Chain A
Amino acid sequence: MKAWAAALVAAALSVGLAGCWSNRPVERRNLALMLGVGPAPHHQLRLLFQIPTRAGLTGLTKGSGSGSEPSFNIIEGVGTTLTDAFAQAQAKTTRDLYLGQVEVVAFSTKLSPQEFEQARNMFSRLGSLDKTAYAVATPSVRALLSLQPRSGELPGIILASNFGCLSCNVEHLERRVWDMETASYNRGINLWLPLLTAGKSGFEINQMAVYADGHPVLTLSPAETQALGYVMGLTHKGTVSFRWHDHLVALRGLDARPYFHLTWVQGRPHIDVTLRITGALAEYLGGELTPEALSEVQATAEHLIARRVTAVLRRLQQAKVDPVGFGQAWVWFHPGRFARLGSWRQAFSQAAIHVEVQLRLHDIGDLT
């Protein structure tokens, strides 16, 4: 009796909870590695799936490309909603479109606020979409998804390894679908996404798109992105070059620890930003490197970085966007005052911001 009962329970569990019911062999699925959302004519949405081919997957396992064969296909669907677009794309293939392996989700910067919200909402509801997939913004979804890197590797895998590596880039611009959701809902902070462009030599990832109400209102240049990266703790391999007493000086490996403090003075926020930066002296042609000279070099660099950071924060203020989240804690702990204030973005645009940089060069090399 006991054995029968155990067998019955085991059978029920295998059918009910082990996933056998919806199990599909992998060769009967189309595993999407990249997903793109862009606008289509007549107020419609375009959904693109980058599906690796057998050659692409084989190349992946071998660690190299497989000659002339493309490593991926693009399947596309268009519809008034993303669900319609998905259904259209599914109708173009006999295999099940599977989103559980998506590595990168790209959003066109040309999406209207409503279209962007539609996409965000749908992706949030999809239990099968991995929330840890990387989220990026791009001017052209089609161009981004169609780019075949020269190495022959799958683009989704290249991007995933790039974002997954903390020390690979000057700024670590990793954003997940999850981060996009949290930034969209939480108050006192604006959403930002890395802006990816498809260049001739591959992907370029050194810019930031800052969103307000579902629309990218500000695109920062690579230099601005690096400066803001200090404030957001994203820049880990920053560089700065300047002239000091007619000598060229370059610093590298700049890594910042940001601290900020918010106070209210006569109904206006005052934000004090302190950046504790460490780095290395890369080039110095100013003669003997005495402690006094080094101190002056550091002071000059501090001043320069502070000016750049202040400039980018001013641009954010002009655009009324706060991707850093200076006001988050205040908004959370003072719901009554926030309700009277109405909008953190407005308050931020009028904030007095003071930036202080404390630079320490830990490494000056093997030269005096």
Chain B
Amino acid sequence: MRIRRHISPFQYALLIAASYMGFGIFQFPRELVQRAGPDALWALAAELLWALAAFRLWIAVNRLHPDQPVFGFAASYLPRPVVTAMVAITVILHLGLAFIALANFGFLMRTYFLPETPLFAIDAAFVLTAVYVAWYDIAPLARTLETVFLVPGLLSIFIGILLIGRMRFGYALLPSTHLWLLPTVRATYHGAYMFFGFEVTMVLYPLVRQEQQRIAERYAFWAMIFTFAFFLFGYAMVLGVEGPFFLTHIQWPTVSANRLVDIEGLFVNKLGLLVVVLWGLMLLAFLTLRLWCVIHDAIPDYGVHSLPRYRILLVIAAALVVAAALQIPNIAPLDVIIQRFMIPAMLGYLFLTPAVVWTAAFLVHRHRWDPHPPTPRPRASLGRPSRRLL
């Protein structure tokens, strides 16, 4: 079985966007409005700024050795136990993000669509689909995303336009002229989950052909800005329709707003709900990427290179994700897990990991980076034919 080695710059950007969009789309912008009040718009802008900054850090680390995943070359600069610990943390965070996203969507589906279907059936169906997509490695996922993102994206914008007629709180869309710094920073922190996940670049970047990597970076940054524009549009619609005070009481503000779109006479009159279901595809992409990354992050350090082993690990990771998701009884503890544990852990990870690797590399070489550094010794697994993974 031949595994496709490369992804195009466009696919790279899509995969990066998919790595964070499936997580925050359902809950945002509750925390921003709850904590920043009228400054929520500035907090939303701050989300983009930190995400761009952290992503730029990761790109800087990727550029150190553009042909290798980060944990493939990190051992050249850091002690092996440190790299092992980093890999372990990465795997735990991937699994953590995956199970939180899965549990969240499972609760949403049970609340609005499938009240009598057991949670395990909903969660298992999702994860099984994610395993199926990830089964043949990255290429099917990249191709799927090319079509998956377009339809829900365009339909979401259409639904947003239909929601304009239901806006009763348009005043809340105006940007505040008084900036209260502390509440805005707090809101940015608590709403940071919107962009969690782009660290997948550590394994995706080397899959882009070297001559195309700069283009891929540009695309990924633009994808981030487009995602922000998409979130901004969603923010305006949700805030205008729900009002700032009610919004903070809703579990899934974007879903609640979508429920209001009802087109009489259309064969799917609840078009807004259809879009929510289609957002499940974004979650699917998110899950698939996480499962794929769990193994690919682990590979450079543990030497699991063959496809059958990859698949065994894939199934184990998927089972762990479902098992963890089923341990959460309802959405209330999940919120606590996100706010108390996932946000500090992810923010620390997203900034510290690239900072540590980059600083270590800098200290080893004692000078700023040559844009074209010498390629380190090739890994045994690279360049092997067909049944080998990167």
**Is B truly associated with A?**
yes
Chain A interface residues (CB < 8 Å from chain B): 5-6, 8-9, 12-13, 15-17, 19, 21-22, 127-128, 130-132, 164, 176, 178-179, 181-182, 184-187, 328-329, 332-333, 335
Within the complex, the shortest CB–CB distance from B131 to chain A, in Å, comes to 8
**Interface contact A15-B176, CB-CB below 8 Å:** no
Which of B112, B174, B260 interacts with A178 by CB under 8 Å? Answer: B260
Contacts A12-B124, A17-B122 hold; do A22 and B172 have CB atoms under 8 A apart?
A: no
Q: 16 A–B contact pairs at CB < 8 A?
A: A12-B124, A12-B129, A13-B125, A16-B117, A16-B124, A19-B113, A21-B118, A130-B259, A131-B256, A132-B262, A179-B168, A182-B242, A182-B243, A186-B246, A332-B172, A333-B174
Q: How far is the CA of A259 from the CA of B203 in the complex (A)?
A: 56
**Interface contact B264-A13, CB-CB below 8 Å:** no
Q: Beta-carbon contacts of B107-138 to A below 8 Å, as 1s and 0s?
A: 00101111111100111111011001001000
B245 close to chain A: CB less than 8 A = yes
Q: Beta-carbon contacts of B211-250 to A below 8 Å, as 1s and 0s?
A: 0000000000000000000000000000000111110010
Which of A5, A6, A21, A335 interacts with B121 by CB under 8 Å? Answer: A21
Q: How far is the CA of A22 from the CA of B280 in the complex (A)?
A: 20
Q: How far is the CA of A187 from the CA of B111 in the complex (A)?
A: 27
Which of B114, B126, B246 interacts with A185 by CB under 8 Å? Answer: B246
Which of B38, B121, B166 interacts with A16 by CB under 8 Å? Answer: B121
Which of B111, B114, B132, B171 interacts with A17 by CB under 8 Å? Answer: B114
Contacts of A22 in B (CB 8 A): 114-117
Q: From B131, which residue of chain A is reached at the shortest CB distance?
A: A9
Within 8 A of A (CB), among B272-316: 280
B349 close to chain A: CB less than 8 A = no
Q: How far is the CA of A110 from the CA of B117 in the complex (A)?
A: 38
Q: How far is the CA of A19 from the CA of B113 in the complex (A)?
A: 8
**Interface contact A131-B121, CB-CB below 8 Å:** no
B169 close to chain A: CB less than 8 A = yes
**Interface contact A12-B128, CB-CB below 8 Å:** yes
Q: From B168, which residue of chain A is reached at the shortest CB distance?
A: A182
Q: From B132, which residue of chain A is reached at the shortest CB distance?
A: A9
Contacts A9-B132, A131-B256 hold; do A164 and B115 have CB atoms under 8 A apart?
A: no
Q: How far is the CA of A15 from the CA of B124 in the complex (A)?
A: 10
Q: How far is the CA of A19 from the CA of B117 in the complex (A)?
A: 7
**Interface contact A186-B244, CB-CB below 8 Å:** yes
Q: How far is the CA of A329 from the CA of B262 in the complex (A)?
A: 28
**Interface contact B38-A332, CB-CB below 8 Å:** yes
**Interface contact A17-B109, CB-CB below 8 Å:** yes
**Interface contact B128-A8, CB-CB below 8 Å:** yes
Which of A6, A15, A16, A185 interacts with B132 by CB under 8 Å? Answer: A6
**Interface contact A9-B121, CB-CB below 8 Å:** no
Contacts of B117 in A (CB 8 A): 16, 19, 21-22
Contacts of A176 in B (CB 8 A): 260
B354 close to chain A: CB less than 8 A = no
Knowing that A16-B121, A17-B125, A332-B245 are A-B contacts, what are 12 other residue pairs whose CB atoms are under 8 Å apart, sorted by A's residue number?
A: A9-B132, A13-B128, A19-B117, A128-B112, A128-B115, A185-B243, A186-B243, A186-B245, A332-B172, A333-B38, A333-B174, A335-B38
**Interface contact B168-A19, CB-CB below 8 Å:** no
Q: How far is the CA of A284 from the CA of B178 in the complex (A)?
A: 54
Q: How far is the CA of A181 from the CA of B166 in the complex (A)?
A: 14
Within the complex, the shortest CB–CB distance from B355 to chain A, in Å, comes to 36
Q: How far is the CA of A13 from the CA of B121 in the complex (A)?
A: 9
Contacts of A16 in B (CB 8 A): 117, 121-126
Contacts A9-B132, A329-B171 hold; do A15 and B243 have CB atoms under 8 A apart?
A: no
Contacts of B114 in A (CB 8 A): 17, 19, 21-22
B9 close to chain A: CB less than 8 A = no
Q: How far is the CA of A333 from the CA of B169 in the complex (A)?
A: 13
Which 7 residue pairs across A and B have the least CB separation, nearest first? Answer: A16-B125, A22-B116, A329-B171, A185-B246, A186-B243, A127-B111, A21-B117
B66 close to chain A: CB less than 8 A = no
Q: How far is the CA of A333 from the CA of B174 in the complex (A)?
A: 9
Contacts of A12 in B (CB 8 A): 124-125, 128-129
Contacts of B125 in A (CB 8 A): 12-13, 15-17
Within the complex, the shortest CB–CB distance from B179 to chain A, in Å, comes to 12
Q: How far is the CA of A187 from the CA of B178 in the complex (A)?
A: 20
**Interface contact A181-B264, CB-CB below 8 Å:** no
Contacts of A131 in B (CB 8 A): 256, 259-260
Contacts of B242 in A (CB 8 A): 182
Interface-centre pick from A21, A332, A335 (highest chain B CB count, 10 A):
A332
Chief secondary structure at chain B's binding surface:
helix
Contacts of B259 in A (CB 8 A): 130-132
**Interface contact A182-B169, CB-CB below 8 Å:** yes
Interface size, chain B (Cβ < 8 Å): 41
Q: From B249, which residue of chain A is reached at the shortest CB distance?
A: A185
B22 close to chain A: CB less than 8 A = no
Contacts A16-B122, A19-B113 hold; do A5 and B135 have CB atoms under 8 A apart?
A: yes
Q: How far is the CA of A321 from the CA of B260 in the complex (A)?
A: 27
B160 close to chain A: CB less than 8 A = no
Which of A5, A9, A13, A181 interacts with B246 by CB under 8 Å? Answer: A181
Interface-centre pick from A16, A132, A328 (highest chain B CB count, 10 A):
A16
Q: From B116, which residue of chain A is reached at the shortest CB distance?
A: A22
Contacts of A6 in B (CB 8 A): 132
B37 close to chain A: CB less than 8 A = yes
Interface-centre pick from B109, B168, B264 (highest chain A CB count, 10 A):
B168
Contacts of B121 in A (CB 8 A): 15-16, 21
Contacts of B178 in A (CB 8 A): 333
**Interface contact B260-A132, CB-CB below 8 Å:** yes
Contacts of A19 in B (CB 8 A): 113-114, 117
Contacts of B132 in A (CB 8 A): 5-6, 8-9
Contacts of B113 in A (CB 8 A): 19
Q: From B37, which residue of chain A is reached at the shortest CB distance?
A: A335
Q: From A335, which residue of chain B is reached at the shortest CB distance?
A: B37
Q: How far is the CA of A184 from the CA of B38 in the complex (A)?
A: 20
Contacts of A128 in B (CB 8 A): 112, 115
Q: How far is the CA of A8 from the CA of B262 in the complex (A)?
A: 34
Contacts of A329 in B (CB 8 A): 171-172, 174
Q: How far is the CA of A179 from the CA of B128 in the complex (A)?
A: 39
Contacts of A178 in B (CB 8 A): 166, 260
Within the complex, the shortest CB–CB distance from A165 to chain B, in Å, comes to 11
Contacts of B244 in A (CB 8 A): 186, 332
Q: How far is the CA of A131 from the CA of B250 in the complex (A)?
A: 13
Which of B37, B112, B176 interacts with A127 by CB under 8 Å? Answer: B112
Q: From A13, which residue of chain B is reached at the shortest CB distance?
A: B125
Contacts of A182 in B (CB 8 A): 168-169, 242-243, 246
Q: From B166, which residue of chain A is reached at the shortest CB distance?
A: A178
Contacts A22-B116, A181-B246 hold; do A332 and B171 have CB atoms under 8 A apart?
A: yes
Contacts of A130 in B (CB 8 A): 259
